[in-house]
Chains A and B, each alone.
Chain A
Amino acid sequence: MKLTCNNITVDFSGLRALNKVSLSVETKEILGLIGPNGSGKTTLLNVLGGQLKSNEGSVKKDNLDITTMPPRLRVKNGLARSFQIVRTFESLSVFDNVKSASLTTSKSNVEKNNYCNEIISYIGLNKIKNELANTLNYGDRRRLEIARAMATSPDFLLLDEPAAGMNDNESEILLNTLNVIPKKFNVGILIIDHDMSLIMKLCHRLHVLESGETIAEGSIDSVKKHPDVIKAYLGKDF
């Protein structure tokens, strides 16, 4: 399966946040979306997730046009996302958080429980399964968001800075977790992050934005050497 967006343009009252950006992700693939702050990464994710309407352009999942589809229907159609600011259900347990996201899947209740348990242990939250979300540390809450997004049985997972605020050790664990998701669950991942060592180790392809425009895309090596990317984001020392 393939998630595509074509010529996405977004204006925020006169300010052009995205200018004709196109990209696509396939299942089993991890695409990294990088760029300086304010380059439009989250805006693009919001357009893909349906939280924001683009002024121009279209979003498609295979042949299904989802440009005008509200977020909840996109979720049903296999698009899940995590947020830059964690939005877990504070007063619910870790398990309930994950399960609440599985409610709209067509599984039976027993299957839902099994599937949620599988994801929870896979993401490594098994020990704190019955803790309330607001008692978790930051790294665990970030992982809970990923687990919850996974519980919707997505084909595509959109992750907005999942490693933000994590220490090296936590980000290493996250890397190992995310690495296996695409093949194990048959999911395509679009990930935004500023942790370049994570991105370089994890992603199969990169897409670079600057001031709302695509300045490079392709394999990690080609992007790393791209003069515009070095100038705008990575710097000479990378």
Chain B
Amino acid sequence: MMLQFIVDVLSLGSMYALFALGLVLVYGILKLVNFAYGELILVIGYSIFLLKGSPFPWFFMSFIAIIMCIFTSIATDYVAFRPVREKSVTAVLITSFAFATLLQNAALLLISAKPKNVPMPSFLSDSVQFLGVITPVRNLISIFVAVVCLFIFFQFMKRSLLGLAMRASATNFNMARMLGIPANLVITTAFALSGLLAGIAGTLWMSKISMVFPGIGLEPLLIAFIATVIGGMRSIQGAVLGGFILAFIDMSFNYLLPQDILKFRDAFTFSFVILILLIRPEGLIRGPATGART
């Protein structure tokens, strides 16, 4: 029972953590929330859906979908952020919302308002049993994928020159610029990585729900947002931690709440999040003190 709970938390948490990491990566550098972030899930879903008839194997389809996700993320920068970045914070909030709405409506117009089935390989839903835990294969894959991704990501940030440039920019963007670090390269990399993480997390998400509809982006955006708020908006470690904590809270209520109030789970989760924020308004992990947008 205990082990079952741990596996459930870890598998959900891995997905949340990857989502949150992608969001906080852009926020860390630009100090702006990308509200079109949730729409990357929409891109993943519809990309796989549109490739359904193709002769490619599923892995190749999801690979293309993730590439599409990276492109959309970079496009978000060029369409919604770059033209107004220097001018006004409010403008960027609106343009990123507008870009999100644009993508949703494109899906609505060109595809359908109805949920569409996204093909997933059947083995993902097969159950495995070990040490008394019964869980679908996809949960174990989620944990594995997240561990690998987080490991590579943190090594990249720690060891590579681009990673260093990104960490420096996240601490003090203007100073980094003054030292000659190319701002546009850093920002584009942040959006690309953000798209990659959202793409991977989105594929895991798809394997769980197997369908896509125009409004699909809202829930993952909310999850990523809350996870980063819990963990601390300024810290990439915080985002990961926040993802796992949110999953822990979600799962705990799943286990504890009686069946007839389970549908109000989100209300309980959010109340708990409010409680955390009342105690630690800055989130659990505090980032650099110079995190304000300048």
Contact = CB atoms under 8 A, between A and B. Distances in A.
A101 B176 CA distance: 8
Given A75-B179, A103-B180, A148-B179, A90 B288 contact: yes
Given A91-B287, A103-B161, A75 B178 contact: yes
A103 B171 contact: no
B177 A96 contact: no
Interface in B181-200: 181-183
B228 interface: no
Interface string A39-60: 0000000000101000000000
A92 B179 CA distance: 15
B107 interface: no
Contacts of A100: 164-165, 167-168, 176, 179, 181
Interface string B157-174: 000010011011001100
B4 interface: no
B155 to A, nearest CB: 15
Contacts of A135: none
A91 B164 contact: no
B289 interface: yes
B289 A134 contact: yes
Contacts of B167: 89, 91-92, 96, 100
Interface in A167-213: none
A71 B178 CA distance: 5
B288 A91 contact: yes
Contacts of A152: 179-180
Contacts of B290: 87, 90
Contacts of A90: 171-172, 288-290
B175 interface: yes
- Chain B interface size band reads 20 to 34
A87 B175 contact: yes
Q: Determine chain B's interface SS by DSSP, over half rule.
A: helix
Interface in A139-165: 148, 152
Interface string A74-103: 011000000000010111100011011101
A5 B287 CA distance: 40
A78 to B, nearest CB: 11
Given A87-B172, A91-B171, A134-B288, A101 B164 contact: no
Contacts of B182: 72, 104
Nearest to A101: B179
Contacts of B287: 91
A219 interface: no
B180 A89 contact: no
A157 to B, nearest CB: 13
B201 to A, nearest CB: 25
A109 interface: yes
Nearest to B165: A103
B263 to A, nearest CB: 41
B150 to A, nearest CB: 19
Nearest to A96: B164
A72 B186 CA distance: 14
A73 B167 CA distance: 21
Contacts of B288: 89-91, 134
17 contacts: A51-B178, A71-B177, A72-B179, A72-B182, A75-B178, A89-B168, A89-B172, A90-B289, A90-B290, A92-B168, A100-B164, A100-B179, A101-B179, A103-B165, A103-B180, A109-B161, A134-B288
Given A103-B180, A104-B179, A152-B180, 16 more contacts: A49-B178, A72-B178, A73-B180, A76-B180, A89-B175, A90-B171, A90-B172, A90-B290, A91-B171, A91-B288, A96-B168, A100-B167, A103-B179, A103-B181, A134-B289, A152-B179
